[in-house]
Amino acid sequence: MTGSNELIALSAREAVRRLAAREISPLEFIDAALERIAVVEPAVNALPTLCAERARDHARRLTDLGDGDKRGRLHGLPVAIKDLMDVEDVRTTRGSPIHANRVPTDSHPLVERIEGRGGIVLAKSNTPEFGAGGNTFNEVFGRTLNPWNTSLTCGGSSGGAAVALATGEIWLAHGSDHGGSLRKPAAFCSIVGLRPSPGRVTRGTAANLYSPSSVEGPMARDVGDLALFLDTMAGVDPRDPLTRRAPDEPFLCAVERALDGDASVRPKRVAWTADLGGAAAVDREVREICEAAARKFEKIGVEVVEDCPDPGRIDEAFQILRALIFVVNREADLENHRDQLKADIIWNTEKGLALTASDIAWAERERAAYYGRMAAFFETYDALLLPCTPVPPFDVTLRYPPVIDGQAVDNYIAGSLITSAITLSGSPALSLPAGFTGDGRPVGLQMVGKPYGEADLLAAAALLEQETGLIGLVPIDPRVGTVPSTAYGREGDGKPKGE
């Protein structure tokens, strides 16, 4: 691996152990990350904004605190924050020309928590404009490229975070998820990401604080590191009415107990579905790779049954409720800065403005009914397994794949049922590397747990991660490649393009 030292290849858990033991200082980890970023960034564009001096100042303050709990759970480990979230005195653009030069004077409550627990913010990760889109590009910083093949998308909207982890630029990264914005990039980059239950992690200053649809969450290179970062993020925040107390046992302990053979955290029966019972279009190779990964549970005595709750018309409900959130968040921008908004945001906000009260009421009833069916389902199963994306990574010049398993896609969220249905279930969902297509594109398995059952979900994921044999494949050096013929081609083929 070029342009780095052995520190960037360490797991976050091992890095924290060495920091806690004072074998290595936070400043050394910052320098190792910056060295790696300097080498990798020209090829992938994942971390366009750095705050190195701010990070070094924070590292010195932590070092002066001495040993023990005063330095927090992360003990000075550098992390990346998605560019949707404010970090004090650091340029925060939200991927929009409207905020291209914005420098906030206060940090988001989640950033305060991460920094208060020993994380050091070193960089902001790239995102689509206002986080809207399944491909990470914007007018401020441009495209972020997939390190497994730089001709392909890394997904969105937490694309920069996923790429930074996969290439070893950072050890832990913050992401956010509405319709799959954290899960899909994790799948496309062969790393792990967790969409927690609503309220598990604070959303702090969000305008739609009472909506359970959008959440903040951790991203990492393996499940143990993911649990460590969730422990750092979780807990009550008086500024967020949905937050709840973190469990007494850290999430990382549940993972460690599972790997140590504790049967109490081992799932007994899980369900598998390739396409939500036929409701979602999913490419054949993705289905096959994900089923093979799910069936690996059988090797350790976990029953795998093909089953899923009836999704009903949850796809329609999601589009209505998502459009409503766009009105909450983007109505003023549409009125005052329409010429600076990309077409997808205009479309989604206008879709929301056209809704009737009856439309919204129906969608809420549909969501409630689906939640009830999911709750009943989890009385029989410990987890639901399904693909995390309907297609493998596609041409980076596209906003979205125009066809999924022979079905045309006519807008940027139309192919998201496989993740958006899970969003409206209120359940935690984790993306776990499942394998690679014949042409080398990563595929992720989505693992869904009971509401507020993150500990059991992480434990199950850690066990399956061991069985897949895919742990330890990242970090990698970026790889230049071409667009496979099944990834919809480049300019001149008549397909929709990226910008």
Rounded to 5°, angle at Cα 438 from 433 and 440: 55
Please give the Cα distance from 324 to 208 (Å, whole number). Answer: 10
| Residue among 172, 252, 187, 147 nearest 8 (CA) | 172
Give tens-digit pLDDT for 405-424: 999 998 999 899 999 999 99
Active site residue 181: yes
* pLDDT score for 230: 98
| Choice among 62-66, 102-106, 412-416, 420-424 with the minimum mean pLDDT | 62-66
Give tens-digit pLDDT for 281-318: 999 999 999 999 999 999 999 999 999 999 999 999 99
* Banded pLDDT at 1 (limits 50, 70, 90): low
| Residue among 222, 166, 181 nearest 464 (CA) | 222
Please give the Cα distance from 351 to 321 (Å, whole number). Answer: 10
Is the pLDDT reported for residue 373 higher than 90?
Answer: yes
| Residue among 92, 404, 270 nearest 413 (CA) | 404
* Banded pLDDT at 485 (limits 50, 70, 90): confident
Question: Of 125, 181, 211, 213, which residue is the catalytic one?
Answer: 181
> What sign for the dihedral angle of Cα 115, 92, 212, 374?
negative
Please give the Cα distance from 426 to 178 (Å, whole number). Answer: 11
* pLDDT score for 488: 66
* For residues 59-76, average pLDDT: 87
Is the pLDDT reported for residue 499 higher than 50?
Answer: no
* Banded pLDDT at 489 (limits 50, 70, 90): very low
The separation between CA 314 and the C-alpha centre of its own chain, rounded to angstroms, equals 21
| Choice among 3-17, 265-279, 325-339 with the minimum mean pLDDT | 3-17
* pLDDT score for 491: 37
Give tens-digit pLDDT for 262-285: 999 999 999 999 999 999 999 999
- Beta strands (DSSP E) in 151-272 are 172-177, 192-195, 215-220, 269-272
Active site residue 25: no
Is the pLDDT reported for residue 492 higher than 70?
Answer: no
Residue with more model confidence, 2 or 213: 213
Q: Amino acid letter at 206?
A: A
* For residues 188-208, average pLDDT: 97
Residues whose CB falls within 8 Å of the CB of residue 379, separated by 6 or more in sequence, listed in order:
none
pTM above 0.75, yes or no: yes
Question: Of 4, 82, 125, 425, which residue is the catalytic one?
Answer: 82
* For residues 27-48, average pLDDT: 98
Give tens-digit pLDDT for 430-460: 999 999 999 999 999 999 999 999 999 999 9
Q: Which domains does the chain have, with CATH numbers?
A: 6-315+360-487 (3.90.1300.10)
Question: Of 4, 107, 125, 157, which residue is the catalytic one?
Answer: 157
* Banded pLDDT at 65 (limits 50, 70, 90): confident
Active site residue 125: no
Is the pLDDT reported for residue 3 higher than 50?
Answer: no
Is the pLDDT reported for residue 247 higher than 80?
Answer: yes
* Banded pLDDT at 487 (limits 50, 70, 90): confident
Alpha helices of 426-479 — where are they, by DSSP H?
454-468
When the pLDDT of each residue in the chain is averaged and rounded to a whole number, the result is 95
C-alpha torsion 193→198→200→204, nearest 10: 100
* pLDDT score for 396: 97
Please give the Cα distance from 499 to 95 (Å, whole number). Answer: 14
Is the pLDDT reported for residue 208 higher than 90?
Answer: yes
* pLDDT score for 494: 30
C-alpha torsion 148→154→160→166, nearest 10: -30
